[in-house]
Structure 1
Amino acid sequence: MASRPRVVAALSLADGVTAANAALGFLAAALAPLSPALASRLVLLAAVADGLDGVLAARVGATPVGEFLDSLADVASFCVAPALLVFSAAQSGWGLSAIPGEFALALAVPALFVVSGVVRLGLYTAYDTHRGRTEGVQTTLAATVLAAGYLVGMRMPTVLLAASALFAGLMVAPATYPDLRVRDALVMGVVQVGAILAPTAFFHVFPRLLLACALAYLVFAPWLYPSAGEGKRT
């Protein structure tokens, strides 16, 4: 009997969701110059997929290829897409065609964000996948703060670029962050879905709540959040 193609035989349902995460990252990057708000919502949807693949891997099984696919998809969704979101917002806010210095800054900071994110994901895949914790701010968290911030009105180029530069440093900083527990990831997923489907409802309550939770985790998790005791893909 003929064997199945490797691309089918080697992948699980969780890996399929991871691949969808990568596609959402591409869509967010492509749409960032046209509609930064829609791109922000797609980044948040990619974050939902990023959490869902971990839940599926834990419930129905993971594959050896999953942890590598996860980091590759995250490059698209949480490095390139938010970087283009920030660049597009700066270009729109500053009218950069006539101001070479600001144009260079708007290019350099997002580029640095991508570089730090790629380095951080490489280190995570090599050392942290099965530890239940990781060093440096997660790319998903950085992208979520930028996307949710844009949806609540944080659209000044200087603010977005400053936040991107800060995250570029934090993603490779030595602070240890525990992985989210499955229960907390599901709760955050519900808030993210609200921010995606109804970002302006009730005075932007969902993206505001998402931003507040993300910032609380960013500031307090290294000291106060209990370790999940399990890796994302286990």
Structure 2
Amino acid sequence: MKPRFVGRLSLADAVTVSNAALGFLAISLAATNPRLAARLVLLGAVADGLDGVLARRYGSSAAGPYLDSLADVASFSVAPAVLVVAVVRETWGFDTLRVGVAMLAGALFVAMAIVRLGLYTAYDTDDDVTEGIPTTLASVILAAGVLAGFTDPTVLVALTVVLSGLMVSTITYPDLLARDALIMGVVHTLAVLIPNFKGRTFPYALLSLALAYLVLSPGFYWRETEGKPTPAKTTEGKRS
């Protein structure tokens, strides 16, 4: 008797499922090795982009968009929240009050990310824009910040709360153009593979690009117009 998924899931779906597994590994390692956990979150973001590329090239399955959002719950909802709490504990120890605040911020992040993913799957998958920042972007900012050495607990907790609110905001974010998605993917990969190169150059570069997109893209990033490149469907389940 063969497993039920044989013949039903695509290559893109397999990459999506690996993204969920990376999220679990990041969660498991966060308490003992936060920097490795941060690298796994970023690697999950690479997989999240790759599954969209594979889906467009080789096709997807009916289950693909649902698997994508479910995987994102692990990699870009729970994993970054646990990472923040782990980094906070490294500095604050087991101070019940302050760590409790960090845990509440993490719980808020998880809740808002899940709401965001549900709304995205229901309303935004067929559009070239989306309301609220993608969970992937929020997670990349947190993970790249940890890799770049920005681990002040107060800043991390405050940033987690701000990103939680932005995920469910009505600010409109356009999809990345294919060329920019490729650039981001290369920087992502280098940040994962050689995070300490030349004074953490690639984590800094990734964090800078992510923050630039967060702040500038709603007002200044190119929209799809006739004769311009098609945006890449690489965020949160976009597999058209």
Displacement, 1:64? 1.6
Distance in 2, Cα, partners of 1:183 & 1:58? 15
Partner of 1:202: 198
User: Which of residues 73, 76, 90 is equivalent to 2:74?
Assistant: 76
Query: Gaps (5+ residues) in structure 2?
Result: 224-229
Distance in 1, Cα, partners of 2:172 & 2:38? 27
Distance in 2, Cα, partners of 1:107 & 1:60? 41
RMSD of equivalent CA atoms:
1.4
More helix by share: 1
Distance in 1, Cα, partners of 2:121 & 2:193? 32
Partner of 1:61: 59
Distance in 1, Cα, partners of 2:190 & 2:176? 19
Letter in 2 for 1:126: A
Displacement, 1:139? 0.5
State the Cα deviation string for residues 76-119 of structure 1 (Å, max 9, x = none).
Answer: 001100000000111111012xx321122021000000000000
State the Cα deviation string for residues 7-42 of structure 1 (Å, max 9, x = none).
Answer: 122211100000000000000011000100000000
Query: Gaps (5+ residues) in structure 1?
Result: none
Preserved CA contact (<8 Å) 1:55 1:182: no
Report the secondary structure of 2:195's partner residue: coil
Count of aligned residue pairs for this structure pair: 230
Distance in 2, Cα, partners of 1:108 & 1:78? 17
> So what's the TM-score if we normalise by structure 1?
0.94
Preserved CA contact (<8 Å) 1:33 1:88: yes
Preserved CA contact (<8 Å) 2:109 2:161: yes
Partner of 1:20: 18
Matches within 5 A, 1:32-47: 32-47=30-45
Q: Does 1:154 align with 2:150?
A: yes
Distance in 1, Cα, partners of 2:32 & 2:211? 28
Preserved CA contact (<8 Å) 1:18 1:50: yes
Quickly say closer, same or farther: Cα 1:229–1:200, change in 2 above 3 A: closer
State the Cα deviation string for residues 121-161 of structure 1 (Å, max 9, x = none).
Answer: 00000111111211101000000000110111111111110
State the Cα deviation string for residues 42-96 of structure 1 (Å, max 9, x = none).
Answer: 0000000000001111111121211111010001001100000000111111012
Displacement over 3 Å in runs of 4+: 227-231
Distance in 2, Cα, partners of 1:130 & 1:56? 17
Preserved CA contact (<8 Å) 1:36 1:85: yes
Report the secondary structure of 2:130's partner residue: strand
Displacement, 1:6? 3.5
> So what's the TM-score if we normalise by structure 2?
0.92
Matches within 5 A, 1:1-234: 5-96=3-94, 99-227=95-223, 228=230, 231=233, 232-234=238-240
Preserved CA contact (<8 Å) 2:181 2:232: no
Distance in 1, Cα, partners of 2:35 & 2:63? 33
Preserved CA contact (<8 Å) 1:130 1:230: no
Preserved CA contact (<8 Å) 2:80 2:143: yes
Distance in 1, Cα, partners of 2:33 & 2:166? 28
Displacement, 1:229? 5.5
